[in-house]
Structure 1
Amino acid sequence: MENTDKFGKRISIIGNEMPRGMVWDDTRAFLAVARCGTLSAAAQNLNVGIATLSRRIERLESALKLPLFVRQQSGYELTEDGAELIEKAEALEAAAHAFAVGADTQAQMSGHVRLATAENVATELILPELPAFRAQYPDLLVELVTDISTANLHRRDADLALRMVRPERGNVTLRALGTLGYGLYCSTSYELRRESNPDLGYYDTDDFITWGEMYSHLPAAQWIERILRGRRPALTTTSLATQVAAAKAGLGLALLPHFIARNSGLVCVDTDLGVDQPIYLVIQTDLAKSRRIRALADFLIDVVARNSERLGG
């Protein structure tokens, strides 16, 4: 016969059908009293009250429709029926223990976790820190998804994400971790041109490097569009890496995250632009208590906190 214990595990009871209403805690109580001989010793062993333990024994006897113990002043002595059930109760105990061990093993840091984030955040922020995480959790595979235009937690394309845009839908839990600061950057050569040319330096005559049409929704792209007021940019691209390269080549001004641009030898022209973005940790709500997800989430929280000054600029 098969039934389920309190963990939901299907357990076989050899040669005996488990009655309706029987629960694993009552069987534990039965074994404890049988082994200890008294309610007080068994209650101490299970870390429960004597009254609670007594109720469990009575509930089990009622469910089985059998007297399991003879109550004596010196303690509890098994009846013949109770003694015959010890082996089966121990089989149930072993099965429950095996299930608990299996569940614990499943909860160990193994398997994989899918993280979605922007490519620049992955390459400049997460990957340099990832060896320490790998050393701590060598059996946990991190799957890094940087094509965030297609990674959607609502569709379960990822388990968790670091994003600069607050999700508006989906069964997700989010936490603001910090701020991603932006500045207007250019090459040293372009800055010298601005300083030597009185017609430059007021943005309305500057050259700009911006995002292509499919990324026009980004705050940086929208800021530049407002500044250009219909003028054509010097260049449009589809990645931050090409914008950094274009700025280094002297093609114009680019609106870039500080932590990316400041490692590229570029000059910061302005920081008060109103385009800084919050950094959100977003997790599938039904996965938020998973130990694997929690481990990676805690790692990301720590990484952002330790790099807050660099990220905010």
Structure 2
Amino acid sequence: MSWDDLRLFLDVARLGGLSAARATTGLSAATLGRRVTALERQIGETLFIRAQTGFTLTGAGEALLKRAEDVEAAMRAVTHWRDGAIGARVVRVSAGGWTTDFLSRHIEELWSPDDGFRVEFVTAYDKVDIGRRAADIGIRNSAPTEPNLAGRKMTPVAYALYCAPRLVAGVRDGLFVGVTGPAAATASARWLQAHHGDRIVVSGNDTHSVRELVAAGTGLTVLPCFIGDADPRLSRIRGPIADLAAHQWLVLHHEERHSPPVRTLADRIVRLMVAHAKLFAGDIS
């Protein structure tokens, strides 16, 4: 049994399915499915109950999860020993695509090579299981409800309709660009489908491709204001959508929140977002 197979198993188990695990593994759902099936054959046990809503661990899957996490901890210890001072700790940050985009563009305010820890971004549209250490820091649009998690309320987040300023192509005809795939489960994607689903003519399963389609004049779409207002290629149609108003929450494991690397990065994320509170709130006054 290889460590690579166990690592894939951990991602699927923690994220609850193949679609969510695509972002962390870089593999297609079909490839992940084949690898999981091969692992089950090798072990001789069914590890997951498969359903349209996701994957649930069987009793054998739960037993393997505990052992795989022990292997993961051992592998991390070996990696840390090998790397020495650099990467003494990897801090994993889980967030949606747009928030990850924002954090990446401000990485100099969050991390430097002198920090003594590394940062890994885990882009996911479903909740990543911080309780099982699938991530160290989570950024969500609601307060945590799981046990052993601590939450800190941050900035309000606004959403609005955006399009290219030129009245061309789909913009001229009042057509929309939709979202498919894992991102379709987000509140903004559901709102767009509910209010303008009959006028969605082009869709993308990647949020960044959706933005490029909108910037090219294909149609309108819903974007968080901290993305739409910051892109000079886009124009906001009207004020923020009241139904989509939310707050960003910083989520930490109750025990891990006292770890110096985790605490340092979490504090920097809070400061960064507070400094850009008007952008997140859609305040362009």
So what's the TM-score if we normalise by structure 1?
0.56
- Asked if 1:116 is matched to 2:94, the reply is yes
Structure 1: which 5+ runs fail to align?
1-108, 201-205
- Asked if 1:211 is matched to 2:179, the reply is yes
The CA distance in 2 between the partners of 1:117 and 1:193, in whole Å, is: 31
C-alpha contact 2:109 2:268 (8 A) present in aligned 1: no
Amino acid at match of 1:145: V
Aligned residue for 2:56? none
2:131 to 130, 154, 164: 154
C-alpha contact 2:154 2:247 (8 A) present in aligned 1: yes
Aligned residue for 1:129? 106
Deviations 1:128-179 (A, max 9, x none): 3322443384311112212354732133200111122433324210011011
Give the C-alpha shift of residue 191 in structure 1. 7.3
> How many aligned positions are there?
194
Deviations 1:43-85 (A, max 9, x none): xxxxxxxxxxxxxxxxxxxxxxxxxxxxxxxxxxxxxxxxxxx
C-alpha contact 2:128 2:138 (8 A) present in aligned 1: no
C-alpha contact 2:109 2:272 (8 A) present in aligned 1: no
Give the C-alpha shift of residue 298 in structure 1. 0.6
2:241 to 261, 266, 273: 273
2:273 to 304, 307, 310: 304
Aligned residue for 2:160? 183
Structure 2: which 5+ runs fail to align?
1-86
Give the C-alpha shift of residue 276 in structure 1. 2.3
So what's the TM-score if we normalise by structure 2?
0.61
C-alpha contact 1:116 1:144 (8 A) present in aligned 2: yes
C-alpha contact 2:170 2:217 (8 A) present in aligned 1: no
C-alpha contact 2:140 2:251 (8 A) present in aligned 1: yes
Aligned residue for 2:192? 224
Amino acid at match of 2:104: L
> Share of identical aligned residues, percent?
21
Amino acid at match of 2:279: R
RMSD: 2.6
C-alpha contact 1:258 1:311 (8 A) present in aligned 2: yes
C-alpha contact 2:183 2:207 (8 A) present in aligned 1: no
Aligned residue for 1:92? none
Give the C-alpha shift of residue 269 in structure 1. 0.4
C-alpha contact 1:240 1:256 (8 A) present in aligned 2: no
Q: Relative to 1, partners in 2 of residues 1:156 and 1:223: Cα closer, same or farther, differing over 3 Å?
A: same
Q: Relative to 1, partners in 2 of residues 1:227 and 1:134: Cα closer, same or farther, differing over 3 Å?
A: closer
Amino acid at match of 1:219: A
